[in-house]
Structure 1
Amino acid sequence: MFTLIQLQSFVAVAEELHFGAAAERLNMTQPPLSRQIQILEREVGSQLFDRSSRRVELTAAGTVLLPSARQILDLAAKTELDVRRVANGSAGSVTISYTAIAGQTALPQLLRRTAEEQAGVSLVLRELVSTDQMDGLVNGSVDIGLLRPIVVRPGVLTRPIMQDRLVIATPADSDIAVDGDSLPLSALRDSPLMMYSTAEARYFHDLVLRLFSSADVHPRITQYASQVPALLAFVQAGLGVSLVPASARSFAPADVRFYEIEDSRTVRKLNRVELDVAWNENTSNPAVLKLLDLLP
């Protein structure tokens, strides 16, 4: 079987049609070059060049070999480059999972920076609730998660990348609507509350309950959902009110109205919504580590 150095030698001579010029191009002396051509000719069982004291010409066999030899060398060079790019994190594939809100806030920024600085990396995007993201990080089906702070699994690392706050979402024609831009939680005492699922949105569920408890209000929960868009759909339908991240305003229906939470210092101190980035500490994908550097 012929080698790449033999093909490189052959292509150089075929293009230069001069052994001395080909040897100089390959940064080698002429005798080793001639030996490589001779070995290649034995491997393919054909003479590749007609040689004379005046000229070097390709034989019919050499003419047939030349385009294939160029393709093989090009593929070898491309393969070497691809391997190096994957090894240094500038190429490859990364699966990113994200919550619905993260898909509207942190994710677009990450996609933009990836396109600018890691254009060779292919991204697979999956919208998942935080608990499902954590499962994916553990079993390897997810490389990077944009999720809410929850109980971290062994082997999964996290760090905060964004902070938000909850605001009150009401139907535009709600009886509790006021002209101002804020409402106390006590104003929601008698309104049906669209609440986060305990199983799939535990972070938000517990935060909302703590906020109402600190305001000494017992909410009247009537519906549950795992994602903010679903809660806003309930509100839009006039079924009640909800507490959602302030960043949800950017994609909320036009007939949903938002109010800042107007309450005590304790409520304001509790009203912090964090978004974490998470990844498996044992990841062997260089693109994952390089992509993590693009996040705050």
Structure 2
Amino acid sequence: MFTFDQLAGFVAVAEELHFGRAAERLNMTQPPLSRQIQKLERIVGTELLERDNRKVQLTPAGLTFLDEARRLITLAERAPATARRIASGRSGVLRIGFTAAGGFSVLGPLLEQISGIIPDVDIELQELVTGEQLDGLLTGELDLGLARPPFDSRTFDSRLLSHEAVMLAVPAGHPLTALDRPIGPEDFSHEALIMHSPTQARYFYDLVVRLLPIRHGNVVHTVSQIVTMVSLVAAKRGVALVPSSATVLGISGVEFLPLAPAPGNQVELYALWNRKVSNPALSRLLQDLEFDAGP
């Protein structure tokens, strides 16, 4: 395998097209430089330079090899600085998982913060349900999750990112919109209900079931994504209980009504990470990231 000294010698000769000037540029004498080039050509397996008593010029293979040699030297020169940047958290990759509903209002502002704190770090995003995020954090496929509880606090460190109320999404012009007060469970006890999946949207399902006396006989559709629920409401397929951030979806034909105050009417979203895994970029981010737990 060739050395970087051999590459540097070849580049110098290729640029100067003169062994004497190249040797002077490299602060060495001409004979060892000539031996370096000869050894390099033996390693590469072809002549890179044509030389006689009057001139030196690149062969076609040498012309191509020159571009690669320059690229390798540049990479070698950058490598120590790149390593230092990654170790300090100022470069590298940060892999973030997020739930679909969490992306409505939290993801955009959070990414703006991240870009301001670690602007040279590449961000990779994956839309995953909470269970998939927890698996990714355990295997190291993710560095940071934006997920719903519950999770094992012994394994994962976390910060509350946001909390918001549950609202009732109804088709525009629905009779419930005429009520000049918050909506109670008795107000929609006979309405067709679009419900969260107990498996794919377990967090929302458990929260709604704890919050309200749901009549499962009223359930006409069971879905996993908030945007699907709101779209079905717009199609007049029923009413749905959704987080207040769903109002930013901008789906026409839907109105959002506040629920009567009730214990536990809070949808929570957490930033969480594996306590045992340390990505320097994540460590740097967490030093300056502002966690705003407002609605």
Q: Which TM-score band applies after superposition, normalised by the shorter structure?
A: 0.7 to 0.9
Residue in structure 2 matched with residue 123 of structure 1 by the alignment:
124
Return closer, same or farther for 1:287/1:241 CA change in 2, 3 Å cut-off: same
1:260 and 2:258 correspond: yes
Q: What is the aligned counterpart of 1:274 among 268, 289, 293?
A: 268
**Kept after mapping to 2: 8 A contact 1:201/1:226:** yes
Q: Give secondary structure in 2 for the equivalent of 1:11.
A: helix
1:37 and 2:34 correspond: yes
Give, as a single letter, the amino acid of the residue that structure 2 aligns with 1:261: L
Return closer, same or farther for 1:74/1:201 CA change in 2, 3 Å cut-off: same
Q: Scaled by the length of structure 1, what TM-score is found?
A: 0.73
- Cα deviation for residue 153 of structure 1 reads 7.5
Which runs of 5 or more residues in structure 2 are unaligned?
Answer: 291-295
Task: Supply the distance in 2 between the matched residues of 1:240 and 1:42 (Cα, whole angstroms).
Answer: 79
- Cα deviation for residue 111 of structure 1 reads 4.7
- Cα deviation for residue 114 of structure 1 reads 5.9
- After superposition, give the CA deviation of every residue in 1:106-148 in whole Å (9 maximum; x if it has no partner): 23334556667546626253x3322232233334444432211
Q: What is the aligned counterpart of 1:74 among 59, 71, 75?
A: 71
Residue in structure 2 matched with residue 250 of structure 1 by the alignment:
248
After superposition, where does 1:100-115 map in structure 2 within 5 Å?
100-112=100-112
Task: Supply the distance in 1 between the matched residues of 2:133 and 2:58 (Cα, whole angstroms).
Answer: 61
Task: Supply the distance in 2 between the matched residues of 1:295 and 1:105 (Cα, whole angstroms).
Answer: 17
**Kept after mapping to 2: 8 A contact 1:110/1:294:** no
Please, what is the CA RMSD of the aligned residues? 3.8
Identical columns (%): 32
Q: Scaled by the length of structure 2, what TM-score is found?
A: 0.73
- After superposition, give the CA deviation of every residue in 1:209-248 in whole Å (9 maximum; x if it has no partner): 3333xxxxx3323333322123223423334322211110
Aligned residues: 279
**Kept after mapping to 2: 8 A contact 1:166/1:244:** yes
Give, as a single letter, the amino acid of the residue that structure 2 aligns with 1:40: I
Task: Supply the distance in 2 between the matched residues of 1:77 and 1:49 (Cα, whole angstroms).
Answer: 25
After superposition, where does 1:189-208 map in structure 2 within 5 Å?
189-208=189-208
Task: Supply the distance in 1 between the matched residues of 2:170 and 2:48 (Cα, whole angstroms).
Answer: 85
1:183 and 2:203 correspond: no
**Kept after mapping to 2: 8 A contact 1:113/1:294:** no
Residue in structure 2 matched with residue 215 of structure 1 by the alignment:
none
Task: Supply the distance in 1 between the matched residues of 2:107 and 2:278 (Cα, whole angstroms).
Answer: 23
Q: Give secondary structure in 2 for the equivalent of 1:30.
A: coil
- Cα deviation for residue 151 of structure 1 reads 2.5
- After superposition, give the CA deviation of every residue in 1:155-204 in whole Å (9 maximum; x if it has no partner): 43332222222222112232322164743444233434433233333322
- After superposition, give the CA deviation of every residue in 1:63-103 in whole Å (9 maximum; x if it has no partner): 85354134223134236647826844566555433222122
**Kept after mapping to 1: 8 A contact 2:95/2:141:** yes
Residue in structure 1 matched with residue 236 of structure 2 by the alignment:
238
- Cα deviation for residue 258 of structure 1 reads 0.8
Task: Supply the distance in 1 between the matched residues of 2:2 and 2:123 (Cα, whole angstroms).
Answer: 35
Q: What is the aligned counterpart of 1:219 among 201, 208, 214?
A: 214
Task: Supply the distance in 1 between the matched residues of 2:48 and 2:268 (Cα, whole angstroms).
Answer: 72
Residue in structure 1 matched with residue 144 of structure 2 by the alignment:
144
Q: Give secondary structure in 2 for the equivalent of 1:275.
A: strand
